[in-house]
Amino acid sequence: MSPSPETKRPLILASGSPRRRDLLENAGISFEIEPADIPEQHAPGETPVPFATRLAREKALAVAKRVGPVPRRFVLGGDTIVVLDEELLGKPRDAAHAEQLLGRLVGRRHCVVTAMAVAASDDLVVNDIAVTSFVTMREASVDEIRAYVATGEPLDKAGAYAVQGLGRHFIESIEGSETNVIGLPVEETLLLLERAGARVTRS
């Protein structure tokens, strides 16, 4: 029996995130990148997990519709949010906002939710997961926070820090998946792809 068409074509990652790209590459998965570029607006009353899940599904579906039904492709979308006291902390608007966000996080425990969704481009069936990890940050001075923000690293990160970068200096502990905090829970995503029937190719 000849392989089905999707086995010959790599997964499509509906994200331009270099963190998700690196995690998939390190997992040995072959993929192409086609960012979804959809609005990431929070609906009134929407709680963290449903919000992240909706965005992940919308990203996967947007690209699945774009690539079309033939040949069948699988599209992976994701969204990561940082939550403190039930409040969503997004990406900082500027350096001053980054300092403000970090000032709220240091010395406290918060959660990071990443939702992943995989859509088939032929029937547009979507499977999704949401993974939560908890991060505790140590106390830090205003000068430490300001010096970190000055590196530019926090400016495009939810919660204004990167656990895989210089932001690691602020991390006291992580409960749960560390790759989830980076932006793609690897083990859970591999299981999601398997459940969806996506026969991913390995590089």
Please say if 156 is a catalytic residue.
Answer: no
Q: Which of 22, 37, 79, 94 is catalytic?
A: 79
Say if CB 132 and CB 141 are below 8 A apart: no
Say if CB 63 and CB 120 are below 8 A apart: no
How far is Cα 174 from Cα 192, in angstroms, rounded to an integer? 23
Crossing angle of the two packed helices 95-105 and 142-150, in degrees rounded to 10: 140
Residue 71, preceding bond cis, omega within 30 degrees?
yes
Q: Which residues are catalytic?
A: 79
